[in-house]
């Protein structure tokens, strides 16, 4: 899986948000956005799958502590289109993250109890166009 830019020292705390915009490849199978303390401690592994790992048009979320993955959480709403653009906003709350995708939002628990999210990366069939946080 190809890797895009990696951001470190973001300093995202509860009450703050990260908005990511980009272009999805026309022949996309899946893409990933990771948010966490560092590459080994991911509070949120956000993985929209067009057709990958047995999932079709499903958003799969998870967390990772060192090399240990947690339980996958699946979202049935899938607002992404191959060759289209994507805008995803992650809001850091006290005990979870709220994920805003076009026309839908859901929460994912902060299983690792990360107080400050410093790390972000993208992987797969997605080209990052802009990233902003407030």
For the chain, what is the domain count? 1
Tell me the average pLDDT across 125-129. 96
pLDDT recorded at residue 5: 85
Q: What is the CA radius of gyration of the chain?
A: 13
CATH number at residue 89: 2.60.120.200
For residue 112, the 8-state DSSP code is T
User: What is the tens place of the pLDDT at every residue in 67-121?
Assistant: 899 999 999 899 999 999 999 999 999 999 999 999 999 999 999 999 999 999 9
pLDDT recorded at residue 107: 98
Q: Is the pLDDT of residue 1 over 70?
A: no
Domain span holding position 90: 3-133
63: which residues sit within 8 A by CB, 6+ positions away? Answer: 36, 42, 43, 44, 45, 69, 70, 108, 111, 112
Stated pTM of the model: 0.96
């Amino acid at each position: 899986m190809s890797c895009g830019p990696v951001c470190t020292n973001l300093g995202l705390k509860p009450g703050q948000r990260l908005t990511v915009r980009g272009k999805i490849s026309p022949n996309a199978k899946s893409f990933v956005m990771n948010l966490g303390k560092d590459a080994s401690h991911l509070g949120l592994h956000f993985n929209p799958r067009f057709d990958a790992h047995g999932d079709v048009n499903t958003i799969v979320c998870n967390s990772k502590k060192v090399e240990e993955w947690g339980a996958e959480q699946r979202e049935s709403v899938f607002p992404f289109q191959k060759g289209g653009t994507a805008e995803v906003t992650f809001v850091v709350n006290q005990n979870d993250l709220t994920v805003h995708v076009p026309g839908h939002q859901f929460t994912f628990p902060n299983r690792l109890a990360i107080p400050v999210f410093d790390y972000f990366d993208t992987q797969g069939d997605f080209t990052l166009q802009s990233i902003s946080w407030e």
